[in-house]
Chain A
Amino acid sequence: MSKAHVTTTVNGDPVEFLATPGMTLLDALRDELNLTGAKEGCGSGDCGACSVTVDGRLVCSCLVLAPEVEGRRVTTIEGMAQGGQLHMLQQKFLEHAALQCGFCTPGFLVAAKALLDVNPDPTETETRYWLAGNLCRCTGYDKIIRAVMDAAAELRQEKIA
C-alpha cells in the first residue's frame, strides 16, 4: 500500500507527512503531526469533536481524507491562542465555566470561531443551530452559548475601539 506525500499548511506552518490512502485528516493531525487537540468522538461526522477549518471552512476532520488537504490551509485548536494569549472565545469559555470534562471543547471553540468569522453578531438561535453539529454531554449547552455570545459582544466592542 503506497503512501501519498502531502504538503500543506497547518496553523500557518508548512508541514508534510505521508498518508495511507484511507487516512483521515484527523488521523494525520493526531498521529502524524502530534496535534491531539482535535478529538475523535465518533469517526462519522456526528459529534464535531474533531472540528478544524480547511481554507477557512469548518469541517469534521474525521470526514476529510488526509491527501485532500494538499496545498490547503488547515487551522486547528492549537492555532487559536496567539503568542501565549488566549483567544477571546477561549477566555470566555473559562469565565463562563462553559466546559466540564473539556473533551468537546476544542471542537466547540473551532466551530464557534468559524461562526464569528462569518457572523460577528449571531442571535442565540443562530448560535445554537451553528453549533448543533457539536455534541456536548456535560453542560446542557447553556454556558457554551452564553460564552460564545459574550465573546462575540466583546470582539465587536474591540473592533469599534
Chain B
Amino acid sequence: MSETLEKPAAAAVLNVVGTRPIRPDGADKVTGRATYGADFNMPGQLVGKILRSPHAHARIVSIDAGKARGLPGVKAVVTAADFPDLASEMHEGGEQASNLRDLSLNVMARGKALYDGHAVAAVAAVSTEVADAALALIKVTYEVLPHVTEVEDAMASGAPLLHAHLFTEGLPAKPASASNIARRHYNERGDIAQAFAAADVVVEQRYTTQAVHQGYIEPHACVAAWAEDGRCEVWSSSQGQFMVRTYCAKVLGREISDIRVTPAEIGGGFGGKTTVYLEPVALALSRASGHPVKMVMSRDEVFRATGPTSGSVMHVKLGATADGTITAAKVELKFQAGAFPGSPVGAACMTALACYDLANFTITGWDVVTNTPKVAAYRAPGAPIVAFAVESAVDELAVKLGMDPIAIREKNAVHNGTKAAYGPTFQNIGYVETLAAIRDSDHYKAPLGRNQGRGLAVGFWFNIGGESTAAVHIGEDGSAVVVTGNPDIGGSRASMAMMAAETLGLPVERVRPMIADTASIGYSMLTGGSRTTFATGMAVVQAAEQVVAELRKRAAKLWETTVEQVEWKGGQARCLDPAKPDKKPLTLEALAAQSGRMGGPISAQVSLNAQGAGPGFGVHLCDVEVDPDTGRVDVVRYTAAQDVGKAIHPAYVEGQVQGGVAQGVGWALNEAYIFDRDGKMENAGFLDYRMPVASDLPMLDTILVEVPNPRHPFGAKGVGEVPIVPPLAAVANAVRAAIGVRMPDLPLSPPVVLAAMDRRQG
C-alpha cells in the first residue's frame, strides 16, 4: 500500500512530474543488456588481482615479487613503491571530505598493513589462473603487530597505535601524545546539569551497534588503460565518474585532463562507491604492463577491503518534565573509523537531536581509528546509528511517562523557525505533517497479535545540493536528449527525463536521458547525499528553460513580435500578440526543423552549484512478532512516512523508502561484521553476513508527505537517505514492546533476544 498526501500549496498543473512512466533505461535492465562494471572488456586486456594482508595490523618488512614477475604470463606487479607518497591534503568531494594521503594508503598499503584485507601488492596477468598463481608467489615478510578492532579498546590508554602521528583534533589543547582518537566533535546549548536536576524523569542507557556493510550486490569492477602518451581511460562502476577521475589523478600524480572516466551502470552503492579502491591500481598495472587491465573484486574482498560503516558505543541520557517536555539531553558517541580517520560521527552529532526542539544539550563525538576496513559512506552516514540510541531513549521516556510515542515527539518537535540543534533555522520542513500521517494511518490503529509489539521512531537527514551540470539538446525532429554527469543508481534517469519533459512540454517518451563520461559533460559532484534529483534536476530544468527561451525567441522572430508576446505551453509557442491573431501555434517539431535557417542547433548546458536542499524527515512504524521459543524476530507490518517535498516519480520514491527500510531492518536484526581474535573478519560472505531476503520481510507500506521545497523547480527534496535512519530504533522499540525488555545492543539476533527474554523470566 502506498499513498501520497499532498499539501494544496504544491498543486500546480503538472503533466509529467508526479506520474509513473516506465523508466527510460528499463528495457536494458530487464533483458540483461545493461553494461555494469564487470560487463565491459577491452581488446588485449589483462586480469588484475590484489594481494591482501592476512593480518589486522602488521609492519611490511619486505615484498619480494621476483618469482611472481618471472612467472610466464605475468605482465606487471605493483606495490606502494609504484605510487607517489602523497602529503596529507583534504579534498572536498561529496558529503564527506577525504584525506588524499589516507585514500592512497588505503588503495595500497605503504609500510604497514592496517586491517585484514588491506591491499599490499597487485599483479596483472594474461588470465585469472596466472594472476592467482602470481599472487601466491609474492613473498611479503610481515612483522605482526598487536591490533585493536573495538572502539573503546582503541580509545584506551596503552592501545596499539595505528598511526604514530595521530593527535586528537578538536580538543582545547593538542594532546601530549598520539592516540587512536582522531577527533572530538562537541556541541552544546544551555545548561544540562541544571536541567537534569530539575527533570521529573531521567533515562540513561549505553547502546552499541556493529559495523555493517552497504551490501550492494555488484562488486567493485573496472577496466583501465594507460596509453604511452599518458592519456588514461577508465571504465568503472561508481557513484561518480568525476570523483573517480579526481581521485585517480591525485593518487597517481596525473593531470585531471589526462584521465577520462566512463561510467558503467552501477549495481548499487548506497555510499560505498563514493571512493576508489581498484581504479588507481588498475591504471598503475596498465602503465607497468602496457595493456588495459580489468579488475573485479570477489565478495570476500568487498567485505574485507571496502567500506562498512562504523560500529559504535553510545551513551544517551534524557531528562523530561512530567508533561513529556524533554528538558535536557546528553549524548556521547564513539565511532569506529576503521584504518584511517573519517567515521561519520560528525554527521551523527549533527543529526542526533535534529528532530527535537531542546533548550539544553551536550553532544560529544569521538572519531576513532581501528584495525578494520576504513569506513565509507553508507546512506545517511552516521544518522541511523545515533537515531537508534536517541529514538530508543525517547521511547523509554515515553514508556516511563505513560505517553503515546507520537505525542511525546509532537510535544518536542522542531517546526519551521526552530533553530536546529546543529545550527541552522528550519524552513519549509514537513516533520509534524509526517508524524500526523502515521498517527492517522490505519496501521497506527490496528490491533496487535500474540507475541507482537509495535515500535515507532523518527529520523532526519540534511540532504545536499552542490555542483552539477546538465545539457539539453533538441533533435531536428523536436525530440530531446538530456545529458548529465550523475550515475543512475536508483532511477534518476527517469526523474531527469520527466523534469525536462515537463519544462519543454514534451511527452516523456520524447526525452532520452544520457549519462556522459567526464570529457562529454561538465563537472558534477557524485551521486550521493540525496542530491541528484534536487541539484542535477535543477540544472536539467534550467537547461530546458534556456531551450524554451531560445524557442520563444525564434518564434517571436518568425512572427515579427516581441519575445514577451510568445508563450511556451504544451510543447508549443503561442502568439499572445493581440495585433497578430492569425498566428497558429508553432510546435517544437516545427521550430526544430527550421533550426538550420534560424540560429543553428537548439541546445543548452547549465552548470550550477545548487543551494537550498530541503532537509528530510521520516516517521516509521514497525510491528514485530517474537518467537518465544527461539527469539527470532519477524517484522510483520511496516509503514514509513516521509516528507519528500514533491515526488517526481512516486514509484521510485516509494522504492527508495522501501529499500532504506529493508537495509535498516537488516542492520537491526542480523547484520554485523564479526572479527575473530586475530582481527580477521569471520563472515565475509552473503551466507554468514545475513542481509534480508524476500521471505524475511512483509510488504513495506509508504506514505509520501509532500511539503514542497521552494528552492527546487518542482518542490523536490532529497529522498534516498532519510528512510534508513529510523528503522533500527523502530525495530528495537517494537521488540521492546513485544518482550518488555529494552534492547540496547544491535543486532537483535535470535540468541540475543532469547537471552533478554530469559533474563526477564529469571
Contacts and interface: CB of A to CB of B under 8 A. Distances in A.
A103 interface: yes
Interface string A126-151: 01110111111111111111100000
A157 B140 CA distance: 65
Interface in B188-231: 214-219
B490 interface: yes
A102 B129 contact: no
18 contacts: A38-B32, A44-B685, A47-B686, A94-B27, A97-B649, A97-B652, A100-B652, A101-B217, A101-B218, A101-B489, A106-B30, A132-B696, A137-B214, A137-B215, A140-B658, A140-B662, A140-B692, A144-B694
A139 B659 contact: yes
A80 interface: yes
Given A35-B32, A101-B267, A141-B658, 16 more contacts: A37-B32, A39-B36, A43-B299, A46-B299, A49-B217, A77-B31, A86-B30, A100-B490, A103-B217, A104-B267, A128-B694, A132-B694, A137-B216, A138-B659, A140-B662, A140-B700
Contacts of B663: 137
A133 B27 CA distance: 24
A42 to B, nearest CB: 4
Interface string B262-282: 000111111000000000000
Most buried by A among B30, B267, B659, B700: B30
Nearest to A93: B30
Interface string B660-684: 1111000000000000000000000
Nearest to A141: B694
Interface string A25-51: 000001000011111111110110100
Contact of B299 (A44, A104, A142): A44
A39 B31 contact: no
Contacts of A44: 299, 685-687
Contact of A46 (B27, B269, B655, B687): B687
A46 B686 contact: yes
A99 interface: yes
A53 interface: no
The 8 closest A-B pairs by CB, nearest first: A37-B32, A103-B267, A102-B29, A140-B662, A140-B658, A46-B686, A97-B651, A77-B32
Interface size range on B against A: 35 or more
B648 to A, nearest CB: 13
A61 interface: no
Interface stretch (B18-26, B84-92, B504-512, B570-578): B18-26
Contacts of A16: none
B691 interface: yes
B292 to A, nearest CB: 15
A76 B32 contact: yes
B659 A100 contact: yes
Given A97-B655, A101-B266, A137 B691 contact: yes
A39 B237 CA distance: 14
B71 to A, nearest CB: 14
A94 B649 CA distance: 13
Contact of A41 (B31, B219, B654, B656): B219
B11 interface: no
A139 B217 contact: no
A1 interface: yes
Nearest to A78: B32
A122 B585 CA distance: 53
A36 B35 contact: yes
Interface of B: 20, 22-23, 25-36, 38-39, 129, 214-219, 265-270, 296, 298-299, 489-491, 649, 651-652, 654-656, 658-663, 685-687, 691-697, 699-700
Contact of B659 (A41, A47, A140, A145): A140
Contacts of A143: 651, 654-655, 658
A36 B215 CA distance: 21
Interface residues of A, number: 59
A90 interface: yes
Contacts of B129: 1, 20, 22
A152 interface: no
A144 to B, nearest CB: 7
Interface string A95-126: 11101111111100100000000000000110
A103 B270 CA distance: 14
Contacts of A78: 31-32
A135 B686 contact: yes
A160 B92 CA distance: 60
A85 B656 CA distance: 29
A81 interface: yes
Nearest to B690: A46
Contacts of B38: 30, 36, 39-40
Contacts of B298: 43
B1 to A, nearest CB: 10
Contacts of A137: 214-217, 268, 270, 659, 662-663, 691
Nearest to B665: A140
Contacts of A103: 36, 216-218, 265, 267-268
B662 A141 contact: yes
B699 A142 contact: yes
Contacts of A20: 129
Contacts of B27: 86, 94
Nearest to B40: A36
A95 B22 contact: yes
Contacts of A138: 268, 490, 655, 659
A37 to B, nearest CB: 2
B25 to A, nearest CB: 8
Nearest to A80: B31
